[in-house]
Each structure stands twice: as structure tokens, then as C-alpha cells.
Amino acid sequence: MKTARRVITLILFIVFLIAGFTAVVILPRDEASAQQENRKLADFPSFSFERLKSGKFTSDFETYLSDNVGYRSTFMSVSAAYKNSKGINEFGKLVETNGDLGTGSTKKSELLVTDDRVMEVYRADEQAQEEYIKMLDFYAEKLPASINLYSMIIPTQIDFMPFYKTVGDDEKENIDYLYSNFNKRVKNINVYDTLKEHFDAGEYVYFRTDHHWTSLGAYYAYCKMGADMGFGTLRLDEFQKGEVKDFTGYLYSQAQAPYLDSHKDTIEYYKNALNDITFKCTTFSYIPDQEFDYTGKMFDLSRGASYNMFLGGDQPYIEIDSNSPNKKTLVMLKDSYSNALIPWLTCAYSKIIVVDARTFDQSITKILNTTPVDDFLITNYILGTNFRDYIKLCHDIY
């Protein structure tokens, strides 16, 4: 009887596999969905009997099918219309989604859709936190003693909204926990109070439809960095302000809440002679196995109303030489939050090397062996400390 059940289970699994492959192979892959969601779609998962038995293969395969089925964006729109008809996106509703930092794997997460914005819900992952601490400790042990090591963990706006912050875990409490457990060599740049002060004052420091901060939010972090790292900062009136209107971000596409069209964002950017420059970078594309030629621009207006306007998106490796009078070199290991921060930092460093662990295929050691480095900064937003595969990538590229 037990053998018969195993045979039936195997047959059903094979049928499920064939049906899934049919849906993916026959229907055309929806490349527009990858661009719209601003991430790499899931790759086919590796198979082993252990992963099948634990359910990990089935779960990853389900994600792969969901990401790669033809006409994905159409199905998402239909699904959103159905959910909206049931009131799932009314004021303050939670929407389940797959969180993704662009590493090829997803993590079940939630979005809070309110009357005028959509926000990620942060839930602390204790095991991931310990791995993040170990990763910082690893860099503290490996980096040459002559290099200053800094860490910055960026909160999200939901933690500054007392009513909404109760939905998830306390970001400030967890940021403080991480900071207090890093190696004593690590110098923490705590931007929490700085961002909260300006958010509470009603300033536009976070987008409403995207998970990133705005260029203004990044400016205040730059000022806090200057105070903590010992470099001078420029006033806002020393920059020329530009705007790109009608921006709807990544969370908008995830929440599928069309009524947020009436609350579209504006991308503000600030430029001067120090940061309105080109730079060296590698090529990258959100569409797997596809690359494009890209001349690095600090503000790439050809991207239109997109956060990818900053640096042209998440490049694996960027090397920036500016005319900053501060003749120092900074290496940054970062997530996409820093894309809006880097234009400010070009005013503070004459050389900046930016590494994105998700797509960088070289090593930090090689950089250190060929370039004199003064400061090393590891910066991520708070949800990035939850992704264990991303944390491992940050560790392994050293």
C-alpha cells in the first residue's frame, strides 16, 4: 500500500512537472514583466531528492513557473482586478507578495497598501541577523587595518508612522541590535533619527509607490555621513534641481493597486560640476542572459520615470573619478538604496568604487590589491538584512 502511494505521488509530480514545463515552453516568456518588476526572474531550481523531500524544490519550482509563464504581466493585471473587486486593496490592507533583492530567489513577504502609498512590512529574521553580523565581523577581520570600516543600515518610512509600524517588527530596535553586535572595529552611521526628523517635518524623503528613499532622503544621509566620517558637505542650494514626474515604483507593480495612479511620485535629482559626470561600469540587464552597452551616467534621463535613472540601475561594478577636493577613495558594498546616495558622495571623494554583490563576479581582494583605499562602507536597507542568500554573496565576494 505504501509503495502504491509512492508511485501515485511520483506520477502526480511528473504530471505537474510536465504541465509546468508546457506552460513555460509553449507560451512566450514575458520579458516586459522583468523590466516592470525591476528584478531578475527566478531561474530553474537545482534538483535533488533531499530538496524534493523537504519541499524546497517544489516551492522553488512553483516560483520559477510563476515568474516564467508566458503573458505573466497580463495574468497579474487580471489577478489584481479580481482582488480589487473583493476590496483587498482598501485602506490599510496587507497584500502578500514575493520579496526579491535581485538574487534570483524570492522570500514571502507582505506589502501594506494605504490610502496614498504602499510600503514593505519588515519582519525580523533572527537567523539572517546573526549571519549579517558574522558577515560584518568577517570584513572587520579581513580588511587591512589602515582602512576605516563603516556600516549603514537604512530604515524604511513605515517605521516613522506610529499607526502602521505596529503591523511589522520595530526597525529601530533591530537596527540598534545589529549595530550593537558588530565587531568593535565597525563604525556605525546611524541615519534613523536623521531621516525620522525630516520625515516628521513632512519632507519628501521616501517615495510613495517605491521602496527606496528619494534623492532628498539620500542627501540627509550624506550629511550625517559627513559628520561621522569627517568630510565636508555641500548645501542643497549649491546644486541645480531637476525633476522627472509621473514615477510609479517597484511596490506599485507588486501591489497592483491602480488607484495609486492618483499618487504618483516625482523623482528629484540634484546636480553640480562634481557629480554631473560619466563613469566606468560593467554592462548589466534585468533580463537574464541579455546585456546592453551602457556609458555610465550619474543621472541617466533616458530611463524616464524610473529609479534606474540613478546610475542607470544596479551595475555590478562602478568606478567613479570626480574632481572632489577630498583626495580619498571609498569602496562601497551596497544594495540599490545607494544608487541615489552615490551622486552626493562624488562631492566628498575623488574616487568611489561601487560593488553590487548580486552580480559582481570578481573579488574585493583584487580591488584592494590594485587600489589604495581609505574608507570601506557596507550599506543596505533594513530588509536587505533578512535575505540570507544575499548576505552570503556579500561574504563570498571578498
- Identify whether residues 211 and 344 lie together within a single domain: yes
Sign of CA dihedral 398, 138, 107, 36: negative
- Interatomic CA distance for residues 140 and 142, integer angstroms: 6
**Across-strand partners of 320?**
352
Which letter does DSSP use for residue 40 in this model? P
**Residue 98 domain-assigned (yes or no):** no
- Interatomic CA distance for residues 155 and 176, integer angstroms: 11
- Identify whether residues 262 and 340 lie together within a single domain: yes
**Across-strand partners of 379?**
152, 334
- What does each of the 398 residues of the chain score in pLDDT, given as a tens digit? 556 555 565 676 566 556 555 555 555 555 554 444 444 556 677 777 666 666 566 656 666 655 565 555 554 444 444 444 444 334 478 888 887 777 777 778 899 998 889 999 999 999 999 999 999 999 999 999 999 999 999 999 999 999 898 899 999 999 999 999 999 999 999 999 999 999 999 999 999 999 999 999 999 999 999 999 999 999 999 999 999 999 999 999 888 777 788 899 999 999 999 999 998 877 555 555 565 667 789 999 999 999 999 999 988 999 999 999 999 999 999 999 999 999 999 999 999 999 999 988 889 999 999 999 999 999 999 999 999 999 999 999 99
- Identify whether residues 68 and 133 lie together within a single domain: no
Q: Which residue has the cell 527606496?
A: 212
Count of the separate structural domains present in the chain: 2
Which residue, 58, 83, 108, sits at the end of a domain? 83
**Residue 107 domain-assigned (yes or no):** no
- Identify whether residues 215 and 72 lie together within a single domain: no
pLDDT for position 217: 98
179, 258 contact by CB (below 8 A): no
Which residue, 83, 105, 134, sits at the end of a domain? 83
- Identify whether residues 46 and 154 lie together within a single domain: no
State which residues form the domain around 280.
126-396
Q: Which residue has the cell 570600516?
A: 149
Helices (H) and strands (E) in the chain, counts: 14, 13
Report CA Rg, the chain.
Answer: 22
243, 266 contact by CB (below 8 A): yes
- Identify whether residues 280 and 132 lie together within a single domain: yes
Which residue, 25, 51, 83, sits at the end of a domain? 83
159, 172 contact by CB (below 8 A): yes
- Identify whether residues 138 and 205 lie together within a single domain: yes
208, 263 contact by CB (below 8 A): yes
- The pTM for the full model equals 0.77
- Identify whether residues 136 and 78 lie together within a single domain: no
